[in-house]
Amino acid sequence: MLTEDELALLEAIRETGSLSRAAARLGRAPSTISHAARQLEARFDALLFDRRRYRLQLTPAGHLLAQEAARLMHDVARLTRRVKQVAGGWEDRLRIVTDEILEFDTLLPVIRAFDKLESGVSLRITHEVLGGTWEALREGRADLVIGATNEPPAISQLRWAELGRMEWVFAVSPRHPLGKATGPLSQQVVSAHRSVVVADSSRGTGRGYGVVAGQATLAVPTMRAKILAQCDGLGVGWLPRHRVSTLLKNGALVEKAMADPREPNVLFAAWRGDHDGRALSWWLEQIRQPRLARRLIDGLPLPG
C-alpha cells in the first residue's frame, strides 16, 4: 500500500525534479530519499524514475502513480474525516424520506439550521407517495420518515411520533361540470367524473388517494400538480385544506359538501430504534416542536 510518506516523496520529486531538493523539502538526508525511491520501485516492480540523465525524472509510470496516489490520498483524507465524524456520534449520512404531501420548501429552514451545525453528515432527502414511506423504513432505505400517513405498521424496533392532523377538502374548478352542483355530492355522482390522483411513476405500482373503482383517473406526479390540474378543471378529488385555502378564497376552486366526508389524516414521523446518532436525535428534537410540525403539515398555500 502507499504511506503518506511515500506519496509525499513522489510529490516532492515531481515538483522539484531532483532527489536532493526533495530531500531538503522533506527534511531528510538525500541518501534516505534515494533508498526510499529504490524501495518504492522494488515494491511496484516497475521503473518509476528515469535516471539516465543528470537530474532524474519521473517515468510515465511514475507520473501515473504520483497522480493517482494524490487522488487516493484525497480519498483517505475524506475517509478520515468521516471516521472521526462517526466516532463523534454523528452518522455518516442521514436518509430522510418524506411523504409527497409535505412540501419540500417547508423543510428548507430546518436543513439550513442543520447545515449550521457543520456536522459533516450528508443529508439525502427523497419523497414517496402514500404507503411508500413506511416501506422505505421497513426496507432500510430510510433512517427517518416524515409525514407518513395511516397507522404505523408492524416494523421491528419501530419508534414514532405524531406530527398532527391534515384536513381535506373536496374542491373543483368553478368551470368544472361539478362546479355548479348543489347539495352534498354522493360517491355515485363523483365517480362519473375523472379524478386526479398522485402516483409514483418510479415504482410502477399505481397508487392513488380515495379513488373509486372504475372511475377514470388522471395520474400526476405531485400534490402540487394535482392542485394545479384541479384548478384547471382537468378533474376532481380531495385536496389538503390548508394548501388550497387561498385558492378557495379567491374562487379558483370551490369547496363541495360531500355525502361521505373524508376523515383527517394523522401524520407521523417514524424511525428505527436500533440506529441512533446525533443527527437523527437533532432532527427528532426539531420535528417534535409543535410549531414546526404544524408548518410541515400545513405547507405553503398556493398563491392564486
* 2 in contact with a copy of itself (CB under 8 A): yes
* 263 in contact with a copy of itself (CB under 8 A): no
Residue 39 touches which of DNA, a copy of itself, none (Cβ within 5-8 Å per kind): DNA
* 61 in contact with a copy of itself (CB under 8 A): yes
What length does the chain have? 304
59 Cβ contact partners less than 8 Å away, ≥ 6 residues apart: 47, 48, 49, 50
- Candidates 30-38, 59-67, 215-223, 262-270; binding stretch for a copy of itself (CB under 8 A): 59-67
Q: At 278, which helix (H) or strand (E)?
A: helix 278-287
Closest by Cα among 303, 261, 299 to 108:
299
CA-angle at 259, arms to 254 and 261, nearest 5°:
75
* 248 in contact with a copy of itself (CB under 8 A): no
* 86 in contact with a copy of itself (CB under 8 A): yes
Q: Which listed residue (15, 31, 51, 60) binds a copy of itself by CB under 8 A?
A: 60
**Under DSSP, is residue 269 helix (H, G, I), strand (E, B) or coil?**
strand
Binding mask 265-284 for a copy of itself (x = CB under 8 A): --------------------
Task: Cite the beta strand spans of the chain per DSSP E.
Answer: 49-50, 57-58, 93-99, 122-128, 144-148, 158-166, 168-172, 195-198, 217-220, 237-240, 254-255, 265-272
Output the nine-digit C-alpha cell for 291: 410549531
> Nearest distance from residue 176's CB to a copy of itself, in Å?
44
> Nearest distance from residue 69's CB to a copy of itself, in Å?
7
* 171 in contact with a copy of itself (CB under 8 A): no
Residue 76 touches which of a copy of itself, DNA, none (Cβ within 5-8 Å per kind): a copy of itself
Q: Which listed residue (35, 38, 55, 76) binds a copy of itself by CB under 8 A?
A: 76
Q: Which listed residue (15, 31, 51, 75) binds a copy of itself by CB under 8 A?
A: 75
> Nearest distance from residue 88's CB to a copy of itself, in Å?
8
DSSP alpha helices (H): ranges in 45-168? 60-87, 108-116, 132-138
Measured CA to CA, the distance from residue 228 to residue 161 in angstroms comes to: 31
Q: Which listed residue (17, 31, 35, 46) binds a copy of itself by CB under 8 A?
A: 46
Measured CA to CA, the distance from residue 285 to residue 146 in angstroms comes to: 13
Residue 165 touches which of DNA, a copy of itself, none (Cβ within 5-8 Å per kind): none
Output the nine-digit C-alpha cell for 218: 388522471
Residue 108 touches which of DNA, a copy of itself, none (Cβ within 5-8 Å per kind): none
- Which residues sit at the interface with DNA, rule CB under 7 A? 5, 18-21, 27-32, 34-39, 49, 51, 53-56
Residue 270 touches which of a copy of itself, DNA, none (Cβ within 5-8 Å per kind): none
Residue 72 touches which of DNA, a copy of itself, none (Cβ within 5-8 Å per kind): a copy of itself
Output the nine-digit C-alpha cell for 240: 389538503
| Amino acid found at 177 | P
| CB 218 within 8 Å of CB 224 | no
| CB 98 within 8 Å of CB 117 | no
* 92 in contact with a copy of itself (CB under 8 A): yes
Please report, as ranges, the residues that interact with a copy of itself according to CB under 8 A.
Answer: 1-4, 7, 44-48, 59-61, 64-65, 68-69, 72-73, 75-76, 79-80, 82-84, 86-88, 92
